[in-house]
Amino acid sequence: MILFVCYSHEPEGGGRYGEGVLARAMQPAPPGGSPKRTNPANAGTTADQSTLKVHLPNGGFNVVRASAEEDVRSVLRLLASRLATGDRVYASCYALRARKLNTGKIRWIHQDTPVSELLSRWGVAEWRLELRVRYLPASLRSLQDADRVTFHYYYDQVRHDYLNANHPIDQELAIQICCLEIKIFCKDIATDKKFNVECFEKDFGLHKFLPKPVLDAVKPKVLKKAIQQQFKKVAHMSDTECMLKYLETMHTHYGYDRETFTGALGIGWAIPVELAIGPDIDISYVSHKAGEPPEYCRVASFADVLALHTLRSPCTIQPPQGGSCGKAALQLRVKGASETLTITVSSVEAAESLADLVDGYCRLVTDSQTSLWNRTTTICKQLSCQCKKESSSKSSEGSEGREGKESKESREGREWSGVAPTLLSEDYAEIVDDDADYSTPAGI
C-alpha cells in the first residue's frame, strides 16, 4: 500500500501583524486539531491499524496510512516531504518518537522498525507519535542553505521546547531571545522606530515569546521597556540571521543540541561517566571541574564507527514500573581501535535510545541509509541485575519508611532512559498553533 498524508497547505503569506500565515498561526487550533487536517473519509470512524497520527512541534499533526510491510523510514520520508514543496536534502535528520500519554516516558523508534511492530508496541490508545529533528549537521548555516524547510522545522521545534520547558531561565537572556522571535514574526519591520511593544502586546500578547516564569517574575512595565530597548539591536537583522543567532544563543547557554546519558565505560570494573552526544562533540564524556565550564572529551567520532550492538542482562523479571530489569550496554566497533568500546547504561530502553542516536548521526555523517546497528540484543551475564540487588538488600531497608521506598521506586522509574535532565526537558505542556508552512519561518 502506498503511504499518504492528509495535510493542508496554506498559501505563503507575509509577516505583518494582522496578515499572512504567521499571523493566522497565532490563533489556537480548535479542540481535536485543525479541521483542515481531517480526512473526510475517516470522519466519525475509529482509526484502524494502518493509520498513524503524527504530531508536529506547532501543535498540528499529519495523518499517515501505511501497510504493515512498510517501515518507519518510509513514513519519515513522506512526512518530511509534506512539510513544504521541494526536496528535503537533510531528510535523514528526522526521527520518530513515541511519548506515553500517562507518564510522559519517551521511546525513539528506529527507522528500520516495521509499521506492524510500531502499531503493536506503540498503539494510539497509550502513545503519542511525534516527528522530531534528532540528528543535526555540524553547521546549522549549511542546513539552512541546503534545506530551509528542515532548518525552519528545527528552529520551531527548539522554540516550542524552550517556551514550554520547566527550567531556570535568565531574564536578560530571555528578553534577547524574545526580541529575536518578535523580529522573525514581524518581518516587515526594518527599523526599531516602527515597532511599538504596547501595540504588539495588545494585538498578540507576549506569552508566545517569553516563558511563563519570566512573565510571572518581571513587572509588565519593566519588561516592556526592556523589550523596546533590546529590539533596537535586532531590528536590522534578517529572518535567517535572527534564527541562526537564536539557535547559537540556545546552544551556548542551554546545549539544546546535545543529549546526555548517565552510564559507565566498560563492563564490570566500569568507569562512571556522563556521556554526551552532539553534532560538534560526536561521542564524548563530560569532565566537570569546580568553577569551570564542562569539558567534552571525545571518545569516538561518528565517521569512525563501524558497527553497533546492544547487550542486556539475563534477567527476565518485569519490573512493576514497566520497562526492563537490569543494566544494558551498547558496544561500538570503532575504526583503528583494537577493542570494542562498551558503554553501560541503566536499562535496555536507554541502550536502544543511545544506539538509535549514534546510528542516526553515523548515517547523517556518512550520507548513508544503511544502519550500523545490529538490533538483535545479546544476553550478557556480566551485566548486573537490579532486581537481585533489591532482593538482597531488603533486610537493610526495614528502617526506611513506606514513603521513602515509594520515592526510591519513583526515581528508578524515571531513570528508564538513562538520560540526564537537561534544561530543554522532553516533558512540556503544549501551546497549539495552526497551519504553519515550513517553507517560511514558522508562525509563533
Verify that 132 and 178 share a domain, yes or no: no
Q: Which domain-ending residue is among 375, 392, 409? A: 392
pLDDT band, residue 428 (cuts 50/70/90) = very low
Residue predicted with more confidence, 339 or 317: 339
For residues 44 and 40, give the distance between their C-alpha atoms in angstroms, rounded to a whole number: 9
Tell me the average pLDDT across 312-328.
Answer: 70
Residue 429 resides in a domain:
no
Task: Pick the last residue of a domain from 254, 270, 300.
Answer: 254
The answer on 285 and 228 residing in a single domain is no
Amino acid at residue number 401: G
Q: Which of 36-45, 148-157, 351-360 has the lowest mean pLDDT?
A: 36-45
Total domain count, the chain: 3
| Domain identity same for 130 and 218 | no
Q: Do 271 and 343 share a structural domain?
A: yes
In a domain, 431, yes or no: no
Same domain for 279 and 242?
no
| Residue 14 covered by a domain | yes
Residues 295 and 359 in one domain: yes
**Same domain membership, residue 374 and residue 347:** yes
Mark whether 233 and 268 lie in a shared domain: no
In Å, what is the CA distance from 147 to each residue of 10, 83, 89, 92, 441? 20, 12, 6, 12, 13
Give the residue from 221, 254, 287 where a domain finishes: 254
Q: According to the model, what pLDDT value does residue 322 have?
A: 56
What are the grid coordinates assigned to 90, written together? 537533510
Taking every pair of Cα atoms in the chain, the longest distance, rounded to a whole number of angstroms, is: 72
At 160-211, the pLDDT tens digits run 999 987 777 888 999 999 999 999 988 776 566 678 888 888 888 898 899 9
Q: Are residues 41 and 117 in the same domain?
A: yes
- Does 422 reside within a domain? no
Which residue range forms the structural domain that includes residue 233? 165-254
Find the CATH number of the domain harbouring 221.
1.20.80.10
pTM for the predicted model, two decimal places: 0.77
Set of cell numbers at residue 283: 561521542
Condensed to tens digits (0 to 9), the pLDDT of residues 133-172 reads: 999 999 999 999 999 999 999 999 999 999 987 777 888 9
pLDDT over 70, % of the chain:
72
pLDDT value at residue 390: 47
pLDDT in tens, 4-14: 444 333 333 33
